[in-house]
Amino acid sequence: MSSPKEITERLRKILQLEKQTGYQDTAVLGGLEGFIARMVEQMVIPSVTPLLERVKSYGAKSVVERREVVRELEDLIPTLEFSKETAHSSSAPEDSLKKPIRYAKGVGDQRAKLLKKLGIETMEDLLMYLPRRIEDRSVIKKIAQLQHGERVTVQGRVRALDVIKPRPNLEIAKIAIQDNTGVLYAVWFNQPWLKTQFAKGERVSLYGQVERLYGGLQMSNPIWEPAEANFLTGQLVPIYPATQGLTPATLYRLIRENYQLYRVQISEILPEEIRTRQGLLPRSEALKAIHFPMAIEEFEQARKTLAFEELFIFQLGVALERQKMVQQPAPKLAISDEELEEFSDALPFRLTSAQARVMAEIRRDLASGHPMNRLLQGDVGSGKTIVAAGAAYIAIKASRQTALMAPTEILAQQHYERLVPLLEPLGLRVALLIGSLPAAVKEETQQAVAAGDVDLIVGTHALISEGVSFSSLGLAIIDEQHRFGVIQRATLEEKGDHVHVLVMSATPIPRTIMLTLYGQFEISIIDEMPYPKDIRTYWISDDKREEVYR
């Protein structure tokens, strides 16, 4: 006796052959109904019964009716895979949106693997798989009204079918559609099997772009379905991101069928007060409106609702993360006003009001007893490095080491060369650690850092290597943070105990990206330049290049 898997695989092949032979009920000896009756006898599981119900009197049906039966049978095959796995098990959840997607109607193991490629692993994932856009296929026109270039839906009867072979490796399936005003030709390239999908006299619905060629009207590769289906034509149709083996139409059908089954289980996330104030839909209604909209305005309102919900959840997560961080302890790095004045007096210039404001914010964070997480933004030349030097000075005076990590060796050297003359006169010990240093120098520097003989270490990714350890790291400063990964930043933080973090960026960061990458950070912006910018641009001819270099 064949296994259930072998039987269902054979059914797939028979249905495919039935389609290719034009639904003539010749794909299997004894007809399709007879084969499924024998199949039901061999597979003693409840879910095969609907197959027999669908195929009843198949031989007596019209070609159009047979095509619909075959489509329904293909949709039922995945449910047999589900039954094979769960017929003898009661452990699978029955009513939860968290159940694996293979238990969804019309899915099964094979289709579940394809859905996983799209990030769909649960029932909730399927219902929350939102369309990329909506396509308006609701405009239905008579053939005589069609204009070249417009995308519309046309309905008519099939009057002729043919497959043309104008040259090797090219086959064109062509059908003539007629309504009471004219004739339209539909063509599909290298899909000759489509000829068997139509029956003369059948009413079909086409959607596509109209072309006027050789004095006639034509649609190339249009979407099509029986005129009474009203599924992929004649209405607003959502277009989903797809993958090989899963068309947007298949996804649409899966979502429609499973939404009907699980809509009562869709729980509300947004409080009613917020929904009312913002003019948003209940979550179940929003999902219905975005997947099956009756009007463009309904689709847009649903998209607004779900976008607000997503941002609300994200902001809530950020708030919880911030609250958790505020509750964590960290060393209090506090110094007196007199000590801070010592730093300010050593500068060859006065801080701008913006720099002074940001310094005060950093000083408050470092003395709070909770980990500082602050993003410092400012244009090139706004004085971020001086503020970072001030933060390092506070940490070091509070008996903690500071690490400044830059993305490139050149930038790390620039920071080092600028900070040494600024901080060493104040008694602070500054060192450089980059990959291009001789091995002996790197080893000596690492030993000094571990022994606490270095107050500020400036470097690149070398700072997060396994060979680097700190005596008492209290502050991590990361320049051009967007060029580092989250893991790299975390690795540096882990080299100390509840390390304070200051990240710097000269790149303007859009608000949405800032929320995503730095949602748990407080933000300081240096919005004042120490001196006016005087940028001049010159065009120099090639024969003057040597003068420019000098």
Q: What is the CATH number that goes with domain 135-239?
A: 2.40.50.140
Cα-Cα-Cα-Cα dihedral of 325, 327, 330, 334, to 10°? Answer: 110
Residues β-bridged to residue 549: none
Helices 4-20 and 31-42 meet at what angle, rounded to 10? 170
- Of 257, 302, 253, 247, nearest in space to 279 by CA: 302
DSSP state, 426?
A: G
Nearest-5° Cα angle at 114, 113 to 115: 90
pLDDT at position 277? 93
Q: Which is it for strands 401-405 and 473-479: parallel, antiparallel or unpaired?
A: parallel
- Of 306, 275, 279, nearest in space to 127 by CA: 306
Helix, coil or strand: residue 233: coil
Q: State the Cα–Cα distance between residues 175 and 103, nearest whole angstrom.
A: 39
Residues β-bridged to residue 526: 378
**How far is it between the farthest Cα atoms of the chain?**
100
Please name the helix (run of DSSP H) or strand (run of DSSP E) that holds residue 274, with its range, or none. Answer: helix 272-278
Query: At 98, phi and psi to the nearest 5?
Result: -90, 0
DSSP class per residue in 322-385: HHHHHHS--------HHHHHHHHHHSSSPPPHHHHHHHHHHHHHHTSSS--EEEEEE-TTSSHH
Only one residue has tokens 């290049």, namely: 545
pLDDT at position 420? 94
pLDDT at position 88? 38
Helix, coil or strand: residue 456: strand
Alpha-carbon distances of 381 from 462, 482, 530, rounded to whole Å:
26, 18, 8
Q: State the Cα–Cα distance between residues 161 and 497, nearest whole angstrom.
A: 77
Which two three-digit tokens encode residue 430? Answer: 């500054």
pLDDT at position 92? 37
Residues β-bridged to residue 375: 503, 523
Helices 384-397 and 409-423 meet at what angle, rounded to 10? 60
Give, for all 550 residues of the chain, the pLDDT tens digit: 456 667 777 888 888 888 878 788 888 877 888 888 877 666 655 556 677 777 888 888 887 788 888 888 877 776 665 444 443 333 334 457 888 998 888 888 888 999 999 999 999 999 999 999 999 999 999 999 999 999 999 999 999 999 999 898 899 999 999 999 999 999 999 988 888 888 889 999 999 999 998 889 999 999 999 988 889 999 999 999 999 889 899 999 999 989 988 888 899 999 999 999 999 999 999 999 999 999 999 999 999 999 999 989 988 887 887 777 777 888 899 999 999 999 998 888 888 899 999 999 999 999 998 989 898 988 888 889 999 999 999 999 999 999 999 989 999 999 999 999 999 999 999 999 998 999 999 999 999 999 999 999 999 988 988 889 999 999 999 987 666 666 777 788 888 888 999 998 876 666 556 655 566 778 888 888 877 666 677 888 888 888 877 7
Instruction: Answer left, alpha or beta for residue 368, where phi above 0 means left and psi between -120 and 50 means alpha.
Output: alpha
Instruction: Answer left, alpha or beta for residue 199, where phi above 0 means left and psi between -120 and 50 means alpha.
Output: beta
What's the fold here for domain 337-526? Rossmann fold (3.40.50)
